Amino acid sequence: MGLVIPAVLLILTVPLVIAMMRANELFVLRARRGKLVPVRGRIPKELFDDIADVLARAGLDEFEIRGVIEDGRPRLHGGGAEVPRAVRQQLRNVVGRWRVAEIRNAPKVG
Protein backbone atom coordinates (compact mmCIF):
# COMPACT_ATOMS: atom_id res chain seq x y z
CA MET A 1 0.00 0.00 0.00
CA GLY A 2 2.95 2.31 0.68
CA LEU A 3 4.08 2.19 -2.96
CA VAL A 4 0.66 2.96 -4.43
CA ILE A 5 0.73 6.72 -3.76
CA PRO A 6 4.24 7.26 -5.20
CA ALA A 7 3.34 5.13 -8.23
CA VAL A 8 0.18 7.16 -8.87
CA LEU A 9 2.10 10.42 -8.52
CA LEU A 10 4.72 9.17 -10.95
CA ILE A 11 2.06 8.19 -13.49
CA LEU A 12 0.39 11.59 -13.16
CA THR A 13 3.65 13.51 -13.67
CA VAL A 14 4.68 11.74 -16.90
CA PRO A 15 2.38 13.85 -19.15
CA LEU A 16 3.64 17.01 -17.43
CA VAL A 17 7.27 16.06 -18.05
CA ILE A 18 6.55 15.29 -21.71
CA ALA A 19 4.76 18.63 -22.12
CA MET A 20 7.70 20.47 -20.57
CA MET A 21 10.15 18.71 -22.88
CA ARG A 22 8.10 19.70 -25.92
CA ALA A 23 7.44 23.29 -24.82
CA ASN A 24 10.26 24.63 -26.97
CA GLU A 25 9.58 22.29 -29.90
CA LEU A 26 8.36 23.84 -33.16
CA PHE A 27 8.21 20.76 -35.39
CA VAL A 28 9.48 17.23 -35.92
CA LEU A 29 10.36 15.84 -39.35
CA ARG A 30 11.28 12.25 -40.15
CA ALA A 31 12.96 10.88 -43.25
CA ARG A 32 12.15 7.38 -44.41
CA ARG A 33 13.52 5.93 -47.64
CA GLY A 34 14.57 9.39 -48.79
CA LYS A 35 11.15 10.99 -48.27
CA LEU A 36 10.78 13.71 -45.65
CA VAL A 37 7.55 13.47 -43.66
CA PRO A 38 6.20 15.94 -41.08
CA VAL A 39 5.44 14.24 -37.75
CA ARG A 40 4.11 17.07 -35.56
CA GLY A 41 4.20 20.80 -35.05
CA ARG A 42 4.11 23.72 -37.46
CA ILE A 43 6.45 24.50 -40.33
CA PRO A 44 6.15 26.83 -43.33
CA LYS A 45 5.94 24.98 -46.65
CA GLU A 46 8.96 26.85 -48.01
CA LEU A 47 11.11 25.87 -45.01
CA PHE A 48 9.95 22.25 -45.28
CA ASP A 49 10.80 22.21 -49.00
CA ASP A 50 14.24 23.75 -48.39
CA ILE A 51 15.08 21.20 -45.69
CA ALA A 52 13.87 18.37 -47.93
CA ASP A 53 16.01 19.70 -50.79
CA VAL A 54 19.18 19.86 -48.67
CA LEU A 55 18.61 16.32 -47.38
CA ALA A 56 17.79 14.92 -50.81
CA ARG A 57 20.97 16.38 -52.30
CA ALA A 58 22.96 14.86 -49.43
CA GLY A 59 21.43 11.44 -50.07
CA LEU A 60 20.33 10.99 -46.45
CA ASP A 61 17.23 8.92 -45.96
CA GLU A 62 16.74 7.58 -42.39
CA PHE A 63 16.68 10.09 -39.53
CA GLU A 64 14.64 12.55 -37.49
CA ILE A 65 15.02 16.32 -37.14
CA ARG A 66 13.46 18.47 -34.41
CA GLY A 67 12.99 22.20 -34.85
CA VAL A 68 13.29 23.85 -31.43
CA ILE A 69 13.64 27.31 -29.92
CA GLU A 70 17.03 28.12 -28.40
CA ASP A 71 17.94 31.61 -27.25
CA GLY A 72 14.82 32.93 -28.97
CA ARG A 73 15.84 31.54 -32.37
CA PRO A 74 14.84 28.41 -34.29
CA ARG A 75 17.45 25.64 -34.27
CA LEU A 76 17.56 22.10 -35.63
CA HIS A 77 18.49 19.05 -33.55
CA GLY A 78 18.82 15.42 -34.48
CA GLY A 79 19.87 13.72 -37.62
CA GLY A 80 22.56 11.76 -35.83
CA ALA A 81 26.27 11.47 -36.40
CA GLU A 82 25.79 10.26 -39.97
CA VAL A 83 24.86 13.77 -41.16
CA PRO A 84 28.03 15.35 -42.60
CA ARG A 85 29.24 18.65 -41.20
CA ALA A 86 28.62 20.47 -44.51
CA VAL A 87 24.99 19.30 -44.55
CA ARG A 88 24.50 20.41 -40.95
CA GLN A 89 25.77 23.85 -41.94
CA GLN A 90 23.39 24.02 -44.91
CA LEU A 91 20.50 23.10 -42.61
CA ARG A 92 21.54 25.79 -40.10
CA ASN A 93 21.65 28.31 -42.94
CA VAL A 94 18.17 27.31 -44.13
CA VAL A 95 16.50 27.50 -40.71
CA GLY A 96 18.45 30.62 -39.74
CA ARG A 97 16.52 32.67 -42.29
CA TRP A 98 13.28 32.15 -40.33
CA ARG A 99 11.98 33.77 -37.18
CA VAL A 100 10.21 31.78 -34.48
CA ALA A 101 6.97 33.74 -35.02
CA GLU A 102 6.95 32.86 -38.73
CA ILE A 103 7.26 29.17 -37.94
CA ARG A 104 4.69 29.24 -35.15
CA ASN A 105 2.15 30.96 -37.41
CA ALA A 106 2.53 28.35 -40.16
CA PRO A 107 -0.14 25.68 -40.67
CA LYS A 108 0.05 22.51 -38.59
CA VAL A 109 1.81 19.61 -40.23
CA GLY A 110 0.84 15.97 -40.33
What is the tens place of the pLDDT at every residue in 57-102? 888 778 889 999 999 999 998 876 677 889 889 999 999 999 999 9
The reported pLDDT for the residue numbered 91 is 92
The reported pLDDT for the residue numbered 110 is 59
Contacts 24+ apart (CB under 8 A), 73-80: 73/99, 73/100, 74/26, 74/98, 74/99, 74/100, 74/103
Domain ranges of the chain: 24-104
Q: Which residues, including other chains, have CB under 8 Å from residue 89's CB and lie 6 or more apart?
A: none
Whole-structure pTM value? 0.77
The residue among 62, 71, 63, 59 whose CA lies nearest residue 96 is 71
